[in-house]
Amino acid sequence: MQINIKYIKATTLLVVALISFSFTYPAWEYNKRYNTIVKDSIIELFSTNKFLVKDYIKSDESFYVIKQKDLTLGYFVISQAPSKFHKFDYYIIYNSDAEIIKIEVLQYRENYGAEICSKKWLQKFNNISTNNYPEYNRQVDGISGATISVNSIKVDIYKSSNILKKTILAN
C-alpha cells in the first residue's frame, strides 16, 4: 500500500513539473532586467514612452512590433547566439523598414570574448545592409580573442534581419 502511495506522489509531481515546464515565455517578458533595458532603449530611440509592444511573428525567434496607435515605429527581437561554451543573450531593434538601429548584448556568459559587448563595436551593425552576406560580412571587423562570438553574432543578426524582411514583405 505504501508503495502505491509513493508512486502516486511521484507521478503527481512529475505531471505538475511537466505542465509547468510546458509554458515557455520569451526571456524579455519574464526577466525584469531585460524588459527594462529593452523598453528604455525603445524610449530613447523613438523619443516616446507611449508605445505598445505586440507579438509579431513566431519562428525560431519571436519578433515584436513596436506600435504607437496604428503607426508601426519598429520591431525588436531578443535572441541568443553561441560562443565557445555557452550562449549569450542580445537584442536588436529595427526601424519600420527593418533596418538595424541598435544592438546590445544583455548577458555574456564566457570568460573570454566579452569585447563583443562594446557599444562602439556593436554600432557597426547600425544601418548595415543585410541583403548580401559576403558584403555584409566584410563591413564588420572581427575582434581578436572573440572570433567565435563575433562570427556567431554576425550570422545570427544576418538570419534574423532577413527573416524579418521576408515577413514584412509577405504582409
- Which domain range does residue 46 map to? 2-170
User: pLDDT, tens digit, for every residue of 127-147?
Assistant: 888 888 888 888 888 888 888
State the total domains in the chain: 1
- Sign of the Cα torsion 123, 128, 132, 138 reads negative
DSSP letters, 7-46, are: HHHHHHHHHHHHHHHH----HHHH-HHHHHHHHHHHHHHH
Q: Which residues of 41-66 are buried (b: 16+ CB within 10 A; e: fewer)?
A: bbeebbeeeebebeebbeeebbbbbb
pTM (predicted TM-score): 0.77
What is the average per-residue pLDDT within 117-134? 89
Is the predicted pLDDT of residue 6 greater than 90, yes or no?
no
> Counting Cβ atoms within 10 Å, is residue 171 exposed (0-12), middle (13-18) or buried (19+)?
exposed
Closest CA to 92 of 146, 158, 152: 158
pLDDT digits (tens, 9 = 90+) for 53-95: 776 665 556 788 888 888 888 898 888 999 889 999 999 999 9
